Structure 1
Amino acid sequence: MAPLLWLLALLPAAAPVPVPAEPWADNEQAWNLSFPELLAPARFALDMYNYGRSAGSKATLGAVRGRVRQVGLGSLFFLQATMEEPPCNDPQVCLLPESKKIMLCSFEVLEELGKHVLLKKDCGPVNAKITEYVNETFRSFLPMMNKDPLPRDFSVKMVTLFKDFMTTYNRTYRSRKEAQWRLAIFARNMIRAQKIQALDRGTAHYGITKFSDLTEKEFQTIYLNPLLQKETGGKMSIANPIKHLAPPEWDWRKKGAVTEVKDQGMCGSCWAFSVTGNVEGQWFLNRGTLLSLSEQELLDCDKMDKACLGGLPSTAYTAIKNLGGLETEDDYRYEGHVQACNFSAERAKVYINDSVELSQNENKIAAWLAQNGPISVAINAFGMQFYRHGIAHPFRPLCSPWLIDHAVLLVGYGNRSNIPFWAIKNSWGSDWGEEGYYYLHRGSGACGVNTMASSAVVN
C-alpha cells in the first residue's frame, strides 16, 4: 500500500480525520467502495471544499476511500480524501512562494432523492510538523504485533509515546486490530491536545492522560453527564447572602473538610460524587466529623436520577432527604454500576435538612465557600480529557457555560502568579490532573463554573 494510504488507514492523527468505527463493528469492505460509487459524493465534497475560491486557487481531488450507510431513504457517505491545493505564488497573498500543498480531509455527505448535503468537513495539511513523525521504520510497536511488520512509513515517535502510555496506565487490548485502532485515536488525540493547549489563556498544560486512547464521543458517553444541560431539577431555596467580603484565599483541604479524591470509574456518576463531597463538608462543619459517604447509595436508590447515565445535584439532595440520609462508603461500597437498592436507615450516618441554590456572582460564591464549606458546581468539561496541571482558562466560545456536562466540587480558591483560580475536586481518581484536582480560572465565569452552584443544609 502506498505510504499516503497507510497514513490514512493507520495514522489519522496526521490530520484531523475522524477515526473509523470500532474495528469489531465496522464493515471493512465498505472502505473499499469502487471509485464510481464514490464519484458523485466526492465531487460534491470537492465543490464544497472549493466554494468561494477563485479559479486559480481551487484544489483538485486526489485519492478517495469511503464507506456508506443507509439512512432513511438516502445514503450517508463517510469519505477520506486527499486534496491537492495549487502553490501560492502571489506576493500579495503569501509571504514566500510555496510548493503544492496536500490536505487530508474527511467528509460526511448525505445523498437523498438525488441531492447531496455536506454534514461534516474536517481537513488539515500534511506538512513538515506532521511528516517528521512518519520518516522512519518501526516494526514491533507491541509484543502482539511482532509477527506482523508495520508499514514502512509508520510513526516511531507516536508509537513510542503510545507504548509508554500503555505501560503507565496498564492498558491491554483484545487484538492487534484494536491496538492499531487505539493507536490511531491516541495519535489524533495528541493533535487535539496541542490545539487545546494553543488556545488556552491560562497556565494549564494538556497532553497524555489516562483517557488518551478514547474518542471524544467515548469519553463524553462514559465519564460526563449530559443531563446537566438537558433537564432541570427540583426548585431549591436561595441561600442567604454572605455580608462580608471573601478572604483573599481559602482551602478547605487544609482545614479537614475534604475526603480523599475518589474515582467514579466508567460511569457517568459525577453528580453523585459532587453531592456527597458537599454533604461530607457540611457534616464536618456542623458535626465535627469527616465521613466518606456512599455514592453507590445514590446510584441504586435515587430513582429521580439515572445512575451512570447522569443526574442532577438538586434531585440528589431531595433523594437523600427522602431516603433518610446517607450511609458511609465502608457500609455501602462503590461498585460503579447500578444495582438493587440496599439502603438501611439504621446504617445511615449522615442526614441533611434542605438544599440551597447559590448566587452566580463568583465573589459571592467565594465568600459563601469560605464561610460555609465546599460547594457542588457543574462545568463544561472542555479540554479536561487531556488536562494535566496548571490553571485552565479556555476561550469562552470553546467552553460555553450553556453546555455544562460535568459535576464537581469547589473546595477552595486563590492565586498563582497573579492568576485567580478555583480549586476543584474531581472524581476521576488521583492519577488525573493535579493529584485528582482541576484548577480553573476564577472571575470570568469560565466554563460555566458559576451557573449551577448549590449546597446541602445540615442543621
Structure 2
Amino acid sequence: MAPWLQLLSLLGLLPGAVAAPAQPQAASFQAWGPPSPELLAPTRFALDMFNRGRAAGTRAVLGLVRGRVRRAGQGSLFSLEATLEEPPCNDPTVCRLPASKKTLLCSFEVLDELGKHVLLRKDCGPVDTKVPGAGRAQGAGEPKSAFTQGSMISSLSQPHPDSRNETFSSVLSLLNEDPLPQDLPVKMASIFKNFVITYNRTYESKEEARWRLSVFVNNMVRAQKIQALDRGTAQYGVTKFSDLTEEEFRTIYLNPLLREEPGNKMKQAKSVGDLAPPEWDWRSKGAVTKVKDQGMCGSCWAFSVTGNVEGQWFLNQGTLLSLSEQELLDCDKMDKACMGGLPSNAYSAIKNLGGLETEDDYSYRGHMQACNFSAEKAKVYINDSVELSQNEQKLAAWLAKRGPISVAINAFGMQFYRHGISRPLRPLCSPWLIDHAVLLVGYGNRSDIPFWAIKNSWGTDWGEKGYYYLHRGSGACGVNTMASSAVVD
C-alpha cells in the first residue's frame, strides 16, 4: 500500500465512512464584517491553512469576512470571502526589497462534515484597498468557476479537547508538488509521439508542441498518483485529454453549474417498491442509443437528459429514437449551452417547447445557434420530471423497472480514465463538487465489486468504448446526489 494511502487509512479518511450528503441548498451571503459566530470556526480554519508553514511574524491577520453556508445531512459547506493583512517583509535574507504590508482578498470553500474541516478551495490575490469589492490586480480574488481538483483537500482538522484544531497534511499535495524525475521527459517523448499520432494532434508551433509535451509528462505523473490512490480496479493513463491542463479540461468539458445553482424544483418520484435484481443493463434491452460526443462544449447536461428521455420513450412507446441535444443548446434559455446547465431546467424546457426533435432533424453542432425548433418535427414529448431517491439500492430498483437515469458526478480522475471500476478516495472525489452529468444505464458486479455502468458523452474513443464504470453502494463521487428522470405517460 502506498504511504499516502496508509496515512489516509490511519486517519479514518477512506471513502464510505460517511454517507453522501444531499444536494446542498444555497443561502445568501452575509454582510461584510467580523466573522459571525456561525462562520467563526471555518474562517479560523481557513486562516490557519493560509498561514500553514509560515514563520511567526510573517503570518497574515484576518480582516473582514462575509460568507454563506449550505447544509445537507450531517455536512455544511461554507463559502467565504475574507480580507487578509500580510505583514511587511523587511528581512534581507527573505525578501530582495523592503515591502509594505499587503492586503489580500481571498475566497475559501470549507466543508464541515461530521466534525472534520476540509479546505476545498483557496484563491487569494492582492487588492488595492482594504475595502472589499474595490479594485484589485488582474486575476486576483474572484472565485473561479472551476476548482483545481489537485489543490482541493489541502488539509483536515478534528476537534480537540482544548478547542484547537489538530491539522494533518493531505494526500492531495502529492498530486501537484512532487518534482519530476529528470529523465522522465526523455522516456515520455516516444509515448507522447504515439499520443500525437493516435489522436491526430497538430500544434501551431514548436513552442506549443514543447509546452504540450511538458503538460503531457506532468499529466502522466498525475495519472500514476491517481492510480495509486484508487480503491477499485480502474486503470488510468493516456487518453485523448492527456495534453490538456487540468484547468483547460474542466473549462472545456465539465459543468460547474451543477453545484452552483439550484435549478427547477422537481417532485419526488414514487418508490417502485421492488427489490433490485442482482444486475441489469438497458443496453442489452434496446433502450440506449449509441455513445455520442459533446465535443469541446460543456453540454453534458443536455446529453444526460436526452439519454434519459430516449430510454423513457422506448419503455413507454416502444421506439428508440436518437434525440437532439442541439435543440436544448439553442432553445433552453434557462441553461447556458456550452457554459453548462442543469437537467431539471432541461426537462422544463422540453415540456415548455413541446417536445424534442430527432438527431437527424436537428443535428449537433457543439455550439449555441439560433433556436430552430419546429413543433411539427417534434417526435418525442414528456409529461413531467421527477427527482429520485439518494439510496443506491432504491436507485438500482428504479433503474431496473423504469429505465436509464440522469445523474451528476464529480469527474475527478476521468480525464485519465481508461477502463475498470473507478473508486477514488472520498476526499478526492467529494459529492459536494459534482461537475459532470451522465447517464446510468445499468449495474452489476465484476469480481465481486459492485458497479454502475455509466454512459458518457466524450465519444467511443474514451473509457470503455465511451462508458465509465463507477463503484456502487458507497456514494462514490456523488453519483446518488442528483438523480432524476423525465416522465412519459
Contact kept in structure 1, 2:104 and 2:124, CA below 8 Å: no
Provide closer, same or farther for how the CA distance between residues 123 and 51 of structure 1 changes in structure 2, counting only shifts above 3 A. farther
Change (3 A) 1:349 1:198: same
**Candidates 116, 120, 123, aligned match of 2:177:** 123
Letter of the 1:341 partner, please give it.
C
Deviations 1:67-116 (A, max 9, x none): xxxxx9889xxxxxxxxxxxxxxxxxxxxxxxxxxxxxxxx996779xxx
Name the SS of the counterpart of 1:402 in structure 2. helix
Residue 440 (structure 1) aligns with: 470
Residue among 166, 172, 192 paired with 1:162:
192
1:147 equivalent in structure 2: none
Q: Does 1:186 align with 2:245?
A: no
Partner deviation per Cα, 1:39-71 (whole Å, 9 max, x = no partner): xxxxxxxx976869xxxxxxxxxxx9xxxxxxx
How much has 1:167 moved relative to structure 2? 0.3
Aligned residues: 338
Partner of 1:370: 400
Query: In 1, distance between residues paired with 2:376 and 2:125?
Result: 59
Q: Match for residue 435 of structure 2? A: 405
What letter is aligned with 2:186?
V
Partner of 1:69: none
1:422 corresponds to 2:452: yes
Aligned to 2:370: 340
Change (3 A) 1:288 1:201: same
Which string of whole-angstrom CA distances, capped at 9 and with x for unpartnered residues, describes residues 176-229 of structure 1? 111111111001000110110000000000000000000000000000000000
Q: Which amino acid aligns with 2:177?
A: C
Q: CA, structure 1 residues 457+111, in 2 after alignment: closer, same or farther (shift >3 Å)?
A: closer
State how 1:51-450 maps to structure 2 within 5 Å.
123-125=177-179, 130-133=181-184, 155-450=185-480
**Runs of 4+ deviating beyond 2 Å:** 47-52, 72-75, 108-113, 119-126
List alignment gaps of at least 5 residues for structure 2: 1-50, 57-93, 95-101, 106-122, 129-140, 142-150, 152-172
Q: For 2:435 and 2:222, how far apart are their aligned partners in 1?
A: 19
2: distance between equivalents of 1:293 and 1:354?
17
* Secondary structure of 2:371's aligned partner: coil
Mapped partners of 1:364, 1:211: distance in 2? 34
Shift of 1:125: 4.3
Specify the code of the residue in structure 2 equivalent to 1:456. Answer: A
Distance 1:366 1:132, change over 3 A: same
Q: 2:393 & 2:474 partners in 1: Cα distance?
A: 11
Q: CA shift at 1:158, angstroms? A: 0.8
Q: How far apart, in 2, do the equivalents of 1:447 and 1:282 lie? A: 25
Cross-structure match for 1:451: 481
Shift of residue 123 of structure 1?
Answer: 3.3
Per-residue deviation, 1:237: 1.1
Measured in 2, the distance between the counterparts of 1:423 and 1:455 equals: 17
In the TM superposition, 1:6-17 aligns within 5 A as none
CA RMSD of aligned residues (A): 2.6
SS at match of 1:346: helix
Q: Is the 8 A contact 2:192 2:213 kept in 1?
A: yes
Could you report, residue by residue, the CA deviation over 1:351-370 in whole angstroms, capped at 9, with x for unpaired residues?
00000000000000000000
CA distance in structure 1 between the aligned counterparts of 2:299 and 2:124, rounded to whole angstroms = 36
Cα drift, residue 242 of structure 1: 1.4
- Percent identical pairs in the alignment equals 76
Q: Write out per-residue CA displacement over residues 352-394 of structure 1, whole angstroms, 9 at most, x where no aligned residue.
A: 0000000000000000000000000000000000000000000
Once the two structures are overlaid, the 10-residue window that deviates more, 413-422 or 156-165, is: 156-165
Aligned counterparts of 1:48 and 1:365: Cα–Cα separation in 2: 43
User: How far did 1:446 drift?
Assistant: 0.2
Distance in 2 between the 1:214 and 1:283 partners?
37
Matches within 5 A, 1:44-55: none
- Please, which runs of 5 or more residues in structure 1 have no aligned partner? 1-46, 53-63, 65-71, 76-107, 114-118, 134-154
The Cα of 1:124 is off from its aligned counterpart by: 2.2
Is residue 212–residue 244 contact of structure 2 (8 Å, CA) maintained in 1? yes
SS of residue matched to 2:377: coil
Q: Displacement, 1:131?
A: 3.2
What TM-score, normalized to structure 2?
0.66
Measured in 2, the distance between the counterparts of 1:419 and 1:373 equals: 22
| Inter-CA distance 168–354: structure 2 relative to 1 (3 Å threshold) | same
The offset of 1:243, in angstroms, is 1.1
Question: How many angstroms apart in 2 are the aligned matches of 1:450 and 1:334?
Answer: 29
User: How far apart, CA to CA, are the structure 2 residues paired with 1:232 and 1:324?
Assistant: 24
SS where residue 131 of structure 1 aligns? Answer: coil
